[in-house]
Amino acid sequence: MSETQVVFTLTAKCMDCYRCLKVCPVKAIKMKDGQAQVDPNLCIACGTCVRECPQKAKAYLSGVESAKRAIESGSAVAMVAPSFAAFYDKWERLRFIGALRRLGFKLVEETAEHAYDVSMNVKTIAGNAKRKHICTACPAFTQFAEKYREDAVELLTPVVSPMIQHANEIFMKYSGMMKPVFIGPCIAKKKEALKYPQLLEAVLTFEEIEKMFEEKGIELKNCEESFFDGGVKGHARWYPLGGGLLKTAYGDDISAVKTCVPEGFTEIEDALESVIESDEGIIVEPLFCKGGCVKGPGGRKDVNFYVAKKRLAEYIESAPVNGEAGFKPVMKAEFLFKSAKGADITEAEIEKMLEKTGKGNPAQRLNCGACGYESCREKAIAVIRGMAEPEMCMPVMRRLAEQRTDRIIETSPNGIVIVDREMKIIKMNAAFGAMFRCAGRQGAHVSDVIDPLPFEKLASETEDMIQETAAHPRAGITCHQIFYRMKEENHYVGIFVDLTRLTNTDKRLAELKEKTINQAKQLLEHQLKMAQDMALYLGENTAKSEELLHRLVVAAGGKDENRK
């Protein structure tokens, strides 16, 4: 059964650039008819393609309408990710909370309040890292593990993320009567929320909440300052940055525990390979976005990353902290491996596809990555699985295009010649060789074959293109000819259309025309002489004959001198 589509393509904007395919860490992009489609069964909703698409052709599942319905019910609760402080300046933060209340949220709470409980539960499970553990706060990572890394799934800590724990606390506290709406920079949270439809009404990105403010005409400068409902313990506001979960759990004792905090897909892959092969205990806190949640694809794009980090650090240092000790147990999470890789492809199938796509010779497997895949082999596998098109290979398509061009030139009935800056012939087709009886004369000076003047004019840059009709006495032909410059290569091209047969035909028609007129005149003179001798007998017939012959002369283009 197909999964819900969280990330998708706006086909009208997709320009067939393969950018999304190049950056997608799990290659969940299917190319069909030049359009990049997102396969929901392969996609982990990390949002990398949304952030990287230069045409803004990637979009994600909107939570706006669901959030509006929750607000209209009068019982909506805003659950705000701690990363909010990275996207708003100091004077805006409390006004942002006020803006949410003006929008209609009955309660506005900080999800960091429950991040503390999540961290402490992870610490309880992992202890001093005698075994290997992988934290599960990042939904993009957990979805990646469940689809692509079976060896990592068994190491995941069975603890829900702060968002799910927060929603569950609201559900329990208000007996399901309130409607939680999470607000953060993460698109993967939308996919995570689909697992818990009974807990969350909607998940919004900061982009979406800004649009809702705009629709209602809410500007932060006009909003009153307000404070979050509830309080945050410990270092939980560090969650948006790398190591935030572990810092919250272990505090100043973090140095006594062996940890690993990979950020971004490449670091995560490297860390997993190292951790899984090792027998040592360690706690891994992966963040799929390089730079942490502050770099989430649903954050505000108008805020510089380093400015965002500075703002967040400033907020963490200045925001009030609940000093109460103790923590609550959290919901248990269950993670199952459901492979998204598909059936295995045999070596024979791969080699056959490489041959079919013009890569049978290993020397032609450039592994250039222009198609979006790291190697020609990976691309061949994708073609077999229906995820890629053979035409995506740029070097092959260029080679085929060059072959087609060469074929067109070689089979053209018109003569084509290319000369270099020194006026030497570097290429000619068969038709040119036949026209000027110079087949095999590559390397010869063009003046040995034809008049070089048009090429010399191009070389002097006095003209960019020349069109003319000229006779070539040595070859016995007349041609309409076009000359132009290939600027980048500094070569000159001549195209010759043989008009000799047409010219000869016109000449013969003119000769026939003149001969017909002369014969008509002679016949008319003879007829008139006979008419004079036989006037009585041929009077009427002569008049008719004279008129007929007159029309013949005129039709042939002549002038009847016997008529005034």
**Once rounded to an integer, what is the mean pLDDT over residues 191-213?**
97
Pairing state between β 107-110 and 76-80: parallel
Using left for φ > 0, alpha for ψ between -120 and 50, and beta otherwise, residue 177 falls in alpha
Could you give the percent of the chain with pLDDT greater than 70?
89
Beta bridge mates, 111 = none
pLDDT in tens, 475-492: 999 999 999 999 888 999
- Residue range 289-304, pLDDT digits in tens: 999 999 999 998 888 9
Is it true that domain 343-411 has CATH number 1.10.15? Answer: yes
Higher model confidence: residue 181 or residue 342?
181
Would you place residue 507 in the very low, low, confident or very high pLDDT band (cuts 50, 70, 90)? Answer: low
CA distance 171 to 174: 6
Least confident of 34-43, 83-92, 121-130, 512-521: 512-521
Specify whether the CB–CB gap between 452 and 446 falls below 8 A.
yes
Helices (H), 41-137: 48-52, 64-72, 84-87, 90-103, 112-126
Average pLDDT of the residues of the chain:
89
Region 234-240 average pLDDT? 95
Question: Which of 198-202, 284-288, 389-393, 525-529 is predicted with the least confidence, judged by mean pLDDT?
Answer: 525-529
pLDDT in tens, 337-351: 999 888 889 999 999
Span between the terminal Cα atoms of the chain, in Å: 98
φ and ψ of 276, to 5 deg: -70, -35
SS3 282: strand
Q: Can you say whether the dihedral through the CA atoms of 170, 171, 173, 179 is positive or negative?
A: positive
- Residue 454 CB partners (closer than 8 Å, separation 6+): 466, 468, 481, 483, 494
pLDDT at 201: 97
- pLDDT value, residue 526: 58
Q: Residue 554 to residues 57, 167, 506, 526, 546: CA-CA distances in angstroms?
A: 72, 102, 19, 18, 12
Establish how many alpha carbons lie within 13 A of residue 516's alpha carbon, considering only the half-sphere containing its beta carbon.
Answer: 16
Q: Decide if pLDDT at 534 tops 90.
A: no
Each residue's pLDDT tens digit, 434-457? 999 999 999 999 999 999 999 999
Lowest mean pLDDT among 25-39, 92-106, 194-208, 549-563: 549-563
Average pLDDT of 539-559? 50
pLDDT confidence tier of residue 193, bands split at 50, 70 and 90:
very high
CA of 228: how far to CAs of 76, 96, 162, 392, in Å? 14, 10, 17, 52
Instruction: Return the half-sphere exposure (C-beta side, CA atoms, 13 A cut-off) of residue 470.
Output: 18
Question: Residue 520: is its pLDDT beyond 70?
Answer: no
What span, in angstroms and rounded, lies between the C-alpha atoms of 205 and 17?
26
Give the side-chain half-sphere CA count within 13 A for 411.
6
Q: Which residues pair with 184 in a beta bridge?
A: 205
What digits encode the pLDDT tens for the residues 120-139? 999 999 987 789 999 999 99
- 78 with 133: CB under 8 angstroms? no
Q: Give which of 20, 16, 249, 23 is closest to 137, Cα–Cα.
A: 249
Please state, in angstroms and as integers, the Cα–Cα distance from residue 266 to each residue in 164, 338, 382, following that order. 27, 22, 21
Write out the two tokens for 151. Answer: 């060896």
Q: What is the pLDDT of residue 509?
A: 63
Instruction: Work out the pLDDT band at 540, boundaries 50, 70, 90.
Output: very low
How distant, in Å, are the alpha carbons of 151, 399, 403, 408, 451 from that of 426? 61, 20, 17, 17, 17
pLDDT band, residue 564 (cuts 50/70/90): low
For the cut 80, the answer to whether the pLDDT of residue 354 exceeds it is yes
3-state secondary structure of 280: coil
Query: Residue 536's pLDDT is what?
Result: 44
Rounded mean pLDDT of 245-250? 95
Judge whether 357 and 383 are in contact, CB under 8 Å. yes
Give the residue from 87, 115, 111 showing the smallest Cα distance to 99: 87
Query: Which pLDDT score, from 0 to 100, does residue 2 have?
Result: 78
Q: What is the pLDDT of residue 561?
A: 57
Q: Specify the pLDDT at position 13.
A: 94
pLDDT at 542: 47
Going by pLDDT thresholds of 50, 70 and 90, the confidence category of residue 522 is low
Closest by CA position to 549, among listed 519, 512, 511: 519
The DSSP annotation for 338-371 comes to ---S-S---HHHHHHHHHHTT--SGGG-----TT
Of 170-179, 359-368, 379-388, the poorest mean pLDDT is in 359-368
Question: Helix, strand, coil shares of the chain as percentages rounded to 5?
Answer: 45, 15, 40
Is the model's pLDDT at 556 over the cut of 50?
Answer: no
Range 153-179 average pLDDT: 97
pLDDT at 510: 66
Closest alpha carbon to 281 in 127, 130, 123, 156? 130
**pLDDT, mean of residues 274-284:** 94
| Dihedral sign (CA 22, 24, 26, 32) | negative
pLDDT the model gives residue 142: 98
For the residues of 437-486, what is the DSSP string, one character each?
T-TT-TTSBGGGTS--HHHHHHHTTS-SEEEEEEEETTTTEEEEEEEEEE
Q: Does the 412-498 domain belong in CATH 3.30.930.10?
A: no
The tens digit of pLDDT for each residue in 13-27 reads 998 889 999 999 999
